[in-house]
Structure 1
Amino acid sequence: MSRTAFAAAAVWIASVLACTRGGVSTDEDPLAASVRATDPGPRGGHPGAGGPLAGLDQDERTFFTDGRDRFVEVDSVSGAVAGEDGHGLGPTFNANSCAACHAEPAIGGSSPHPTLGFAKVPNPQIAFASLDRLPGRNQTVPSFIQRDGPVREA
């Protein structure tokens, strides 16, 4: 390798290292701390969510409504609940509809919380732990699933 090529390679490597150092932030970096994103947390008031987007045509609105109806439909997980047509929602899912958990701030959203957000309801996983169980098949709620905690997947 010639001196010119070596010098060019050294300058290029130094430039790359100098540029990438600017993208690395540490706790001591005041600029990074000033531009870091923060979550404002739950907001009060009406959620303004859960409905179809504005500007949909009639077919799209019908499609949305059909999807929402299926999302909130209650099924029997074991197939043993009278009056419920559905059979199961998966091998480890222990609620009886998608909307059982995805209900904050409106149907289709995140999970509810007993003290935060719009709905302020307890963790639904506690109530569903014993719902629709066949005799002799008890469900133990893991210690990290709390009545006043978030919905978690185990």
Structure 2
Amino acid sequence: MVYLHAAISESLRLYPPVSYDHKEPQEDDIFPDGTRVKKGARVVYCMYVMARMENLWGKDCREFRPERWIKDGKFVSESQFKYTVFNAGPRLCVGKKFAYTQMKMVAASILLRYRLKVVEGHVVCPKVNTTLYMKHGLLVTMEPRENDY
């Protein structure tokens, strides 16, 4: 299940369900780069864009590469402040482990029974909004597996 966990994490990195969020400091603060932030200011950050930043994820940041999450055969988490899909710090999602368990169960159940393939010629184009979705949906074909296992 290590590779499945990595594949799910990579999918969420590239296509986070919530594509942007905001925070408001409770008091004046200063970012590490020296930028001053006033109390109550709205600081907006975009997880969709963060996933495509070379300085965070490397030159292959736009590629789907689950292997980036695996070291010596084990799943290795990234900093929650770099991989903000489940928020970070004191606001880290309490249901994160449960969500991963559910996603793995659903993915394993579907992949055990079907082969999935994106419909040829279908344009995959994300629509960045409060919640991320595909502008034209995601058309796939599902072919039943015949006792391949």
Instruction: Please indicate the TM-score interval, normalised by the length of the shorter structure.
Output: under 0.3
Higher relative strand content: 2
Greater RCO between the two (CA within 8 Å, min separation 6)? 2
Q: TM-score, normalised by structure 2?
A: 0.23
**The structure with more radius of gyration:** 1
Q: TM-score, normalised by structure 1?
A: 0.23
